[in-house]
Amino acid sequence: MKLWKVIGLAAFAGVAASGVVVARNQRRRAAYTPDQVRERLRERHAEASKSTG
C-alpha cells in the first residue's frame, strides 16, 4: 500500500510542477508588448522561410 502512496505523491508533485512551469511561461508571454510580439513572429517566420528553401 505504501508504494501506491508514493506513486500518488509523485504524480501530484509532477502535476504541481507542470502548473508552475505553465504559469511562468504565461507570465513571460503576457509581459511582451504587441510590437515585441509582432517582431518575434516576423523573426520566426524569416527563420522558417530560410529553412524551407
What would the pLDDT profile of 6-31 be if each residue is shown by its tens digit?
A: 999 999 999 999 999 998 888 888 88
The three cell numbers locating residue 13:
508533485
What would the pLDDT profile of 27-42 be if each residue is shown by its tens digit?
A: 888 888 889 989 999 9
Confidence of residue 48 (pLDDT cuts 50, 70, 90): very high
**Residue whose C-alpha is closest to residue 39's, from 52, 21, 47, 24:** 47
Look at residue 53 in the predicted model and tell me its pLDDT.
63
- The CA distance from 28 to 22, in Å, is 10
